[in-house]
Structure 1
Amino acid sequence: MRSYASVLVGKLGFATLCCFPVPLALLVGYAAWDAGEGWAWIALAIGLVGSALIPVMALKDARQQFPRITRRDRVEHANVSYGDDTFVMWAPRSEHGPAQAWLARADVLEASLVRYDPDNEATYTTCFGDLTPDEFTPLIRLKLRVRDSEEADGVDGAAGFEITDTWRVPTMCLSAVTAGRLIVLVDPAAAGTPADPKALGKVTPLWPRSALMAGTRTSRMIDLEGRWTDATRRPGWLLRQMRIAREAGGVEMAGDTIDLRLLDTHTAARYTALIARDRDFPEDRAPVTEPGEELRWIVDSLPGEPAAFGSVSRRWSRRGGVLVRARFLQMSATTTFQVHGPVLDTVLRIHPGDGTPPFDAARRLTVPMDYLSVLHRTREVVLYADPNGRSYVVDWARTNLLAGTTAAKALAPDGQELPVAGRPDVIWALMNLLASHGLSNPTPVLDLRERRMSAVAGKMMEAVRGGGTQVNAARL
């Protein structure tokens, strides 16, 4: 478990090494001043200013690299109120495409990573004027089944047609591939070839809207009377909604809510009819992920911190440090990238371990790509809290394990494998037991046969058999 102090000391040393000529100017200036030289003040000024910049640079770099959240990151939402189930992704706009092209749903049948190997020696890279440069956008091969109509729910037109091609997938929208539901733009301009008169033209996935179709982004609508309707994970509704937005033009779908009171009368009437139709014939929510996820599981090929039950500092544990859970409420792209993932502006809701009310914090973080690829499943994050409660640090190893990027395993003292995979409450309970006893387990496999686990083996067996509820209740 790294500490902020250790990272800051390392950055101070690195900044001093890189700027070592600057402090030397102080010695030169002092020697010149002692000798009565008139230019001594210039050297002294350069040395003083340069030396003062060293800790500033170190603090900036340490904050950028170390995912630490402090009181100054807390935010008060004066105009925007985030519900506990809200997730707003301010994604880049989808391309509009030619007028004759039409929107369709596509199911991902297979997916595999073709290439992601950015030529990057620096820790962070900032690009100007390009939010999704090819260098930091993975190239993925997809086999898609494009549905013929919006009513294709397994009956009419569900067969559609299949296409296999490679596309660059923006990292913020990787979860659409894992979930298996995309929105594509089909251009019929090339249709009617002599060999196949029914052939269709170019198929272009619309990635931000695909994240909406996948259920990664929440989707809501406010009608003319101020009532809310939730369309999240309702594929039929979402497809009709997107087609109206495309035909009307000017309807922003970058956030999570469309307010009919802000639209023109004709467009608002079309959306009102859509709401009325849903009330008469409500659509069931689609599954979190479509069947056949194992054929499109690209998570293992993407970079990120390896999932684990986590490391623990005994000093942190003895002083009363605890693990807490948080949840992403918002993500928005920046122009800075790191090899493991994009640097995003985020808002998290943190639930302190002492039972005080949750609070929201805004923080720029590097979000690993393997976590982004399962964002349709969960937006939860694991933090380890400073014993004094003044700061929280994002623990990506524990977060990835809780999110399911790697299957967690537990071995009982008799060697029997305990069912843990896909049970986040149990995994959370086991993490807390390890942390409270100062036990590190930097792998996704928890072996209770080890001698050091003997003191907590019984409680861990109870947590697994009880679904984690007993241990979690004891913490609260």
Structure 2
Amino acid sequence: MRSYTGVLIGHLLFATLCLFPGPLALVVAWIAWTEGDDRAWIPLAVGVVLSAAIPFTAHRSARQEFPRITRRDRVKDTTAAYADDTFVLWAPRSGPDVPEARLVRADVLEASLVRYEPDGEGTFTTYGGDYAPAEFTPLVRLRLRVRDTGGDARAEGAAPTGEFELTDEWPVPPLCLSAVTAGRLAVLVDPRAPDAPAEPDPRAKARGRSTGKASPPVRAKVTPLWPRSALLAGTRTCRVVDLEGRTTDVTRRSGRQLEQMRLSRAAGGVELVGDTIHLGRLAPETAAGYTALADRFRAFPEEPSPPTEPGEEARRLTDDLPGGEGAFGAVRRGWARRGGHLVRARFLRMSGTTTFQVHGPVLDTVLRIRPADGSPPFDAARRLTVPMNYLAVLNHTRDVVLRAAPDSGSFVVDWPRTHLLAGVTPAEVVTPAGLELLLPPRSDTLWHLMTLLVSHAHSVPTPVLDLRDRRHHPLAGPVMELLT
């Protein structure tokens, strides 16, 4: 388990090595000054500038590599505070719209990673103006069941193709990977695509004869809309404030959300500011459509869709995506004995930047941190590298595990423990009798078990806690009591 001090010292040494002409210029300036050279100020100025850049560069790079959350990161403006169950996701925009295409739902039946091979290693790569570069966007093969059964006002007059299946490869933005896990996508079906299903020959039908050859079924052109898919999957929360000021939560109401998307598309786009659509800010005809839609679903309420559709095991990509495995976690004894502990937090907001790493994009995030001492929670804004295998389960959870400093003045995201708690990696306990117990992901039992290990300064750097191991014997009793 690394510490910020160790990372800072490493970057200080590296910055000193890279900027060694600075201290060398100071030595040259001192020698020139002692010899009475009037030009001693030249190497002095160069040495001061380069030497001052050493601690500045080291601190900046260490803060980026080891992103501590300190008091300076606390959100000062509380006028637009997020609710506890809010999650705002600013995903990359979809491609250009096709007016003739139909906006429909597609279910993901199977998913597999085809390619993710970015150039570079663990360094940060920054682009100008491109929020979804191809080399940092995983290519995924999806088998879809498309439900094109009509109902899109934008494509009025176009005949629906009906329900059909297809398999193809699409680049999936990392921020929208959870839509694949959830199994619900919003897609465009273009009825005028060259490869759309062909109509039967009316002349052959009129003659009552068959040509003897069955035309092979040709698929329609299907284009996933990834930001809308994250909304349909329930990853992004969505609320609607009607003209009377009443707020309705429509998160994971997939039927209503699809109708809202069609209304928004027909109106030329409705901006989802934060997680709320205010009808009073829309055009009157668009607001009227939303109101009629709300009245219809109020008369016939829709049950929320599950966080994931059946068959998730056939489309989980967490084992293939980069980001590291989960673990009960390592513990530095000094940190634990001085009062270091774990804290739970929750992501309230994620938005993309133009910087990427191999194992995940660098995102601007807002977290709600709940101190272990019972003091009021607070929000913190921090730029973090979020692993892609964690992004793939955002439809299930936005919880994150933090390591708190002994004085509780700073926090660090503990990704191995976060992956274990989120279910990226399954957690297992082997009892003293040899019985293997799989712990439910995202459960309070798993959280209490991790805090128990930390309180006893006990390291388990794997996702398996084997109580038969001699060094785990002192904790066998408390662990078994917790599991029962």
Q: Name the CA distance, whole Å, in 2 between partners of 1:54 and 1:277.
A: 64
Superposed displacement of residue 450, structure 1: 1.5
Equivalent residue number for residue 178 of structure 1: 181
Q: Which residue of 1 aligns with 2:337?
A: 318
**After the TM superposition, which residues 264-279 of structure 1 pair with which residues of structure 2 at under 5 Å, given as runs?**
264-279=283-298
2:11 counterpart of 1:11:
yes
Whole-Å separation in 2 of the counterparts to 1:166 and 1:413: 47
Aligned pair in 2 of structure 1 residues 150, 299: CA closer, same or farther (>3 Å)? farther
Provide the C-alpha distance between the structure 2 equivalents of 1:381 and 1:285, rounded to a whole number of angstroms: 25
> Are 2:75 and 1:75 equivalent residues in the alignment?
yes
- Work out whether residues 148 and 189 of structure 2, in 8 Å CA contact, stay in contact via their aligned partners in 1: no
> Is the aligned partner of 1:222 residue 2:241?
yes
TM-score (norm 1): 0.94
Asked if the contact 2:178/2:394 (under 8 Å) is kept, the reply is yes
SS at match of 1:253: coil
> Aligned-pair distance for 1:121?
4.2
Aligned to 1:293: 312
What is the match of residue 204 of structure 2?
none
- The percent of aligned pairs where both chains have the same amino acid is 63
**2:164 matches 1:161:** yes
Alpha-carbon separation, structure 2, partners of 1:354 and 1:13? 38
Per-residue CA deviations over 1:409-437 (Å, capped at 9, x if unaligned) read 00111111124133521111110111000
Using the TM superposition, give the Cα deviation of residue 84 of structure 1 relative to its aligned residue in structure 2, in angstroms.
0.5
Change (3 A) 1:276 1:198: farther
Q: Is the 8 A contact 2:321 2:388 kept in 1?
A: yes
Q: 1:34: how far off? A: 1.7
What amino acid sits opposite 1:352 in the alignment?
Answer: P
Which residue of structure 2 aligns with residue 148 of structure 1? Answer: 148
1:122 offset after TM fit, Å? 5.9
Q: Distance in 1 between matches of 2:427 and 2:470?
A: 20
SS of 1:326's equivalent in the other structure is strand
Partner SS for 2:277: strand
TM value normalised by structure 2: 0.92
Amino acid at match of 1:390: G
Equivalent residue letter for 2:408: G
1:347 aligns with 2:366: yes
Cα shift at 1:187: 1.1
Determine which of 364, 368, 393 is the counterpart of 2:383: 364
In 1, the alpha carbon distance for the partners of 2:429 and 2:373 equals 29
* Greater Cα radius of gyration, structure 1 or 2: 2
Work out whether residues 420 and 426 of structure 2, in 8 Å CA contact, stay in contact via their aligned partners in 1. yes
Unaligned runs of 5+ in 2: 152-159, 201-214
Q: Deviations over 1:13-43 (max 9, x none)?
A: 1111111122111111111122222221011
The answer to whether the 8 A contact 1:141-1:166 is kept is yes
Task: State the 1:296 CA deviation.
Answer: 0.6
Moved more, 279-288 or 253-262: 253-262
How much has 1:260 moved relative to structure 2? Answer: 0.5
* 1:158/1:392 CA distance change after superposition, 3 Å: farther
TM alignment of 1:209-288, pairs within 5 A: 209-253=228-272, 255-288=274-307
| Count of matched residue positions in the alignment of Structure 1 and Structure 2 | 461
Structure 1 window deviating more from structure 2 (342-351 vs 303-312): it is: 303-312
- Check the 8 A contact 1:183/1:213 in 2, yes or no: yes
> How far apart are the structure 2 equivalents of 1:439 and 1:38?
63
| CA distance 1:285–1:129, shift in 2 (3 Å) | same
Contact 1:407 1:444 in 2 (8 A): yes
User: Aligned partners of 2:25 and 2:467: how far apart in 1?
Assistant: 59
